[in-house]
Amino acid sequence: MLLKIKRVLTLVSNHQKDETAEEEEGEGCGRNILSKCCINGERLPLYTCKPAEENVTFLESVLLGEWEDRFQRGLFRYDVTACETKVIPGKYGFIAQLNEARHLKKRPTEFRVDQVLQPFDANKFNFTKVSPEELLFQFEANMPLDADNSPRVVAINVSPIEYGHVLLIPQVFDCLPQRIDHKSLLLALHMAVEAANPYFRVGYNSLSTFATINHLHFQAYYLAMPFPIEKAHSLKISTTNDGVRISKLMSYTVRGLLFEGGNSIKDLSVAVSNASVCLQNNNIPFNFLISDSGKRIFLLLQCYAEKQALGEVSSELLDTQVNPAVWEMSGHMVLKRKEDYEGASEEKAWSLLAEVSLSEERFKEVNTMIFEAIGCSGEEEEELEEESSIRVNCCT
């Protein structure tokens, strides 16, 4: 039985149609649609990581320069910098934005919320249908190009949450569904590392957590503020054989794990992708946030879509039309209604996200699964005293 859910639609491409409408495109060039012949090395800038040098701002320059170009050409549905934004007073500093244009009119839609993995459907909108102008550049990490030369591209999100909001689409022509594998996560991690900017974060939403499109992609944007989740304390649980430290988030409204360290970028990526693959194979919805220039990855679990479909969420929360995807879970909330923005408080943000979060028991069960998949002990350290705050505000 398909569960019905009121999902608030957002467009990420100017060529994205209503999912319930008939798709008639896909016929090749001349129709302004992305086909293999439209991407070639010369027309689309190719950006490759430089292994030895520290090229701190180059990726940032390409991304910002191309994004600003599309911005001035009017390819975005609205000017996101004209949307008022503020930090909500409180301990964590949740960030709220008033953005009436991002989410389109709410309407019911048939949407499988009970499946984290769903097969690619060529009839639905996917990234081979975007206009070439929405592509910014190809991105190849320190990985050998595939034999079939399947490009990994970076495209704009035409309904940006913040300036610089892009989509990283690995192997765009392979039409992979939204699911994590080792290679794709490593690419996303490389992008964060290469950007070398703690305010450029890369995020992933699995299908049951309000991913908009079932075509493998990651999102990223710039916001020069800390996210609340980045301030949360964590308690170390374990370390993998490759030196990846896994901690549990403490005193944050959403339950999740923090992965950091590792002897190499690859080690960190493998730990998180093993965990993600385990979750998606067990049909457990999750998101992750790559933060701190690729040094910290937050793996978050949620159950909002299912709760919503079963009618277990209050109507006040539903009325805010917030889709709790990775950005919201990290503490960046885009609000559609002025009254929600004006009345935004830390308590409200906290309780909305608490609705999203797993229960402690369920979280423990999921943790056990994850640790088995990663291959290390999931037992928490015996001294379970919560790490007390080490920050002292001196007032001299």
Partner 1 sequence: MSITQSSASLFTTTEEEKEGTFTTRYSLWIKEALDELPHSFTITDPFISGHPIVFASPGFLKMTGYSREEVIGRNGRAFQGPKTNRRSIMEIREAIREERPVQVSILNYRKSGSPFWMLFHMIPVFGNDDGRVIHFVAVQVPISGQKMRNGSGCSEMVFGSCRREVCLGSFVHQERALPVECDEQELENWEHCEASESEKLKSAEAVGSVLSVLTRYSEFAGRLVCGKRNCLRGADCLSSSLVISLGRIKQSFVLTNPCLPDMPIVYASDAFLTLTGYKRHEVLGQNCRFLSGVDTDSSVLYEMKECILKGQPCTVQILNYSNRKDKSTFWNLLHISPVRNASGKTAYFVGVQMEASCKDIESKELRPETRQLSVVGAVRVAVRSSFMVTC
Q: Which residues are marked as active site?
A: 217
Instruction: Choose between 360 and 383: whose C-beta lies nearer to partner 1.
Output: 383
CB 173 within 8 A of CB 36: yes
Sequence-separated (6 or more) residues with CB below 8 Å from residue 293 = 192, 193, 195, 196, 197, 198, 200
Q: Closest separation between CB of residue 287 and partner 1, Å?
A: 20
Helix axes 58-72, 182-195, angle to 10 degrees: 90
User: What are the start-end ranges of the E strands in 182-284?
Assistant: 200-205, 218-222, 233-239, 244-250, 256-261
Sequence-separated (6 or more) residues with CB below 8 Å from residue 126 = 120, 175, 213, 214, 215
Among 42, 361, 383, 386, binds partner 1 (CB under 8 A): 383
Among positions 276-295, residues that touch partner 1 (CB under 8 A) are: 292, 295
CB 274 within 8 A of CB 374: yes
The footprint of partner 1 on this chain (CB under 8 A) covers a number of residues equal to 53
Backbone phi and psi for residue 299, each to the nearest 5 degrees, phi listed first: -105, 115
Backbone phi and psi for residue 370, each to the nearest 5 degrees, phi listed first: -65, -45
198 binds partner 1 (CB under 8 A): yes
Among positions 292-351, residues that touch partner 1 (CB under 8 A) are: 292, 295-296
Among 25, 68, 148, 372, binds partner 1 (CB under 8 A): 68
Pick the stretch among 103-111, 179-187, 248-256, 378-386 that binds partner 1 (CB under 8 A). Answer: 378-386
384 binds partner 1 (CB under 8 A): no
Among positions 123-142, residues that touch partner 1 (CB under 8 A) are: none
- Report the distance separating Cα 282 and Cα 370, nearest Å: 10
| SS3 at position 353 | helix
Strand partners, 245: 239, 260
Q: Closest separation between CB of residue 356 and partner 1, Å?
A: 23
The amino acid at residue 380 is: E
Among positions 212-251, residues that touch partner 1 (CB under 8 A) are: 222-226, 230-231, 233-234, 236, 239
Q: Closest separation between CB of residue 300 and partner 1, Å?
A: 17
Give ∠ CA 149-154-266 in degrees, rounded to 5: 70
Q: Closest separation between CB of residue 8 and partner 1, Å?
A: 22
Among 4, 31, 86, 337, binds partner 1 (CB under 8 A): 86
Q: Closest separation between CB of residue 348 and partner 1, Å?
A: 20
Site for partner 1, rule CB under 8 A? 57-58, 60-69, 71-72, 79, 81-86, 162-164, 198-199, 222-226, 230-231, 233-234, 236, 239, 260, 292, 295-296, 381-383, 385, 387, 390-396
